[in-house]
Structure 1
Amino acid sequence: MTVTSSIIFLNSTEQSQIRDLLRRTAKTEIMPRFQNLSAQDVSTKSRDDDLVTKADLASEAMITAELQNLFPHAVVVGEEVISKHPSLRTQMADHEICFVIDPIDGTWNFANGIPLFGIILSVLHFGRPIYGLLYDPVMDDFIEADLGQSTCDFSDAQDRRRSLRTAQPRAAEDLTGYIHFGLLPKETQFTLAPHLPKFRRTSVLRCSCHEYRILAQGHVDFCLSSILNPWDHAAGVLTTQLAGGVSKMFDDQEYNARLTEGYLLSASSEETWNTVADILRPVLWKG
């Protein structure tokens, strides 16, 4: 690890070890179970479509154990542990170095045999994301953001790297984006729905990992969420910012894992953020 301005950043060797860990986890615990789950391998959490599988639990356990071995002084928390011990959610922003894991983001897709899921890993410094990985186990490629180097890169299965850049600004009627519409209260959905045709297209992938990957690669313009789970958003916030975009709350507050309420808008540029916010903020946010 490298200390810069009181922030401890991962060095290149440590980053390589983490990428290798995610690859091994996918090959060992995730991909052999893809399209190969029994009914007993899948259960529900908060809702009937909020799923957890044997692969989620096994991959989180493997990643957690190896990170604790590699970084014995760091705190390591995963989505599935937090679902059983919710108090950990409020504590993760209290630490100088905290690894946050979503072992399978897009579990509904995974459990239903849809090859649109990923592993999300982030490193927080008192709740602020300083490193993030968005890994696609199907294609074996990464999007990696490193605040210490101010880089956001794509790395393919052969480890060929290229830097990423978000899309250029354009008019509202030409924008496409992701809005987590189904997670909003029903009354909010009815209020919001008439405003969606102001954009070219809005959709959802049921996978924050791929939504943020597509945003960082310049293929969509924005992503809006009201569920602020750090395992879903911390890495994606950083990839958006370091690829040239803007990611912050409707009240202009910078994202931090401490936040539990509000609307997080990530966009390809400051201009696009303002365009989307001017349409959606008056409808959704009462601040």
Structure 2
Amino acid sequence: MAELDIAALANTLQEAAATEILPRFRNLGDGDVRMKTDAIDLVTEADEAAERLIRARIAEIMPDAVFIGEEAVAADPALLDTLADAELAVIVDPIDGTFNYAAGLPLFGVMLSVVAKGETVAGIIYDPMGNDWLIAEKGSGAWLCGANGSQVQMAIAPAVPLNQMVGIAAMTYMDSESKRKILGNLADVRMFTSYRCSAHEYRTFAAGHLHFLMYKKLMPWDHLAGTLISQEAGAYVARLDGSPYLPHNFDGGLLLAPDKESWTELREKIFTI
């Protein structure tokens, strides 16, 4: 693979936000928001316009890469099957947190990851409201990069006892019985929540403000960038069965923690089904 132009990719996300996302924020018309699968799974004109712009720029920056966007897969689900065998792929979520965006909540992000031969090698999470990027390239650490050129290395929170842990538990796609059991178990941690936006959940975790993230559904545009960033910031990451999380894994759940010991305790005492 040729050297990655991470700056060009980061600038592309910023351009999409400035051009297509922010002008429509709190300015969507009646026909600009549509349901996909249910009332909390939405798509807006901004999602589709942003993805079109990003796709066009990626074609210029990385012409050999397979482009896999959330909205493109919604239109053609077979596109997702190309990820496992792609020599090079770029995976994009044009607006992560569409529910929040459509509701006028400033809690959404733009995410991009690069997969080479089945391995995530780069991840970017851009915050349009803060105008900064959380960026990781494999083996180079995780960095918060500001529009003014500032760079701060990210490090996850140190391990704490279970009853002091604060984290994210996303259980939207879990069956009722499992959800009921885990909700009971979560009484043993200090606090849990969900931002309905994995972009900001991963950013908060990588910056050291959370002790765990747990997800049931694993769509690549939601988790590849954040998982790499978290690992580069020092996190222990595995699917709920203990196996590594790879780009072609679309199920099996995901758990992130400060270290393997914390991960094991969370898996055994909280996220056991």
TM-score calculated relative to the size of structure 2:
0.97
3-state SS in 1 of match to 2:84:
helix
Partner of 1:21: 12
Check whether the contact 2:220–2:250 (CA below 8 A) recurs between aligned residues: no
Q: Tell whether the 8 Å contact from 2:26 to 2:104 is kept in structure 1 after alignment.
A: yes
Q: Report the equivalent of 1:40.
A: 31
Q: CA deviation at 1:179?
A: 0.6
State the Cα distance separating 1:161 from its structure 2 match: 0.2
Letter in 2 for 1:202: F
The two structures, once aligned, show a CA RMSD in angstroms of 1.2
Instruction: Find runs of 4+ consecutive structure 1 residues off by over 4 angstroms.
Output: none
Residue in 2 that maps onto 1:142: 133
3-state SS in 2 of match to 1:257 = coil
* SS of aligned partner of 1:26: helix
Aligned partner of 2:181 in structure 1 is 191
Total equivalences in the alignment: 273
Mapped pair 1:59 → 2:59: no
Among 192, 205, 210, the residue aligned to 1:220 = 210
What residue number does 1:232 align with?
A: 222
Give 1:135 shift: 0.6
- Could you tell me whether the CA contact under 8 Å between 2:171 and 2:216 is conserved in 1? no
* Runs (5+) with no aligned partner, structure 1: 3-8
- Residue 62 of structure 2 corresponds to 71
**How far has the Cα of 1:271 moved from its partner?**
2.5
Alignment check: 8 A CA contact 1:226 1:264 kept: yes
The residue type paired with residue 67 of structure 1 is I
CA deviations 1:111-149 (Å, max 9, x no partner) are 0000000001000123321100011001101100100x4
Tell me the distance in 1 between the aligned counterparts of 2:160 and 2:37. Answer: 38
For residues 35-93 of structure 1, the C-alpha deviation after alignment (integer angstroms, 9 at most, x for no partner) is 00011000010111100000000000000111011111111110001011111112212
Query: Which residue of structure 2 lines up, in the alignment, with residue 272 of structure 1?
Result: 262
C-alpha distance in structure 2 between counterparts of 1:178 and 1:52, whole Å: 24
Q: Aligned partners of 2:90 and 2:61: how far apart in 1?
A: 12
Moved more, 150-159 or 95-104: 150-159
Q: Does 2:113 align with 1:126? A: no
Distance 1:226 1:49 in 2: 16
Which segment is superposed worse, 240-249 or 189-198?
A: 189-198
Structure 1 residue 185: deviation in Å? Answer: 1.4
**Selected match of 2:78 from 83, 87, 93:** 87
Residue aligning to 1:153: 143
Instruction: Check conservation: 2:136, 2:232, Cα contact below 8 A.
Output: yes
- Residue identity opposite 2:62 in structure 1: F
TM-fit CA distance, 1:150: 2.3
SS at match of 2:143: strand
Matched position secondary structure for 1:235: helix
Instruction: Indicate conservation of the 8 Å contact 1:140/1:156, yes or no.
Output: yes
Deviates more, 1:256-265 or 1:236-245: 256-265
8 Å Cα contact 1:135-1:141 kept in structure 2: yes
Greater shift in the superposed pair: 90-99 or 201-210: 90-99
SS of equivalent residue, structure 1 residue 93: coil
Secondary structure of the equivalent of 1:145?
strand
Structure 1 position 222, deviation (Å): 0.8
1:120 touches 1:231 (CA, 8 Å); kept in 2?
yes
Is there any run of 5+ residues in structure 2 with no aligned partner, and where? none
Counterparts in 2 of 1:128 and 1:280: CA distance versus 1, 3 Å: farther
Identity %: 35
String of CA shifts for 1:161-200, please: whole Å, max 9, x gaps. 0111000011000001101123311222122221011110
Partners of 1:260 and 1:183 in 2: CA distance: 13
Q: 2:152 pairs with 155, 162, 166, which one? A: 162
Counterpart in 2 of 1:115? 106
Q: Using the alignment, how far apart are the partners of 1:278 and 1:192 within structure 2?
A: 11
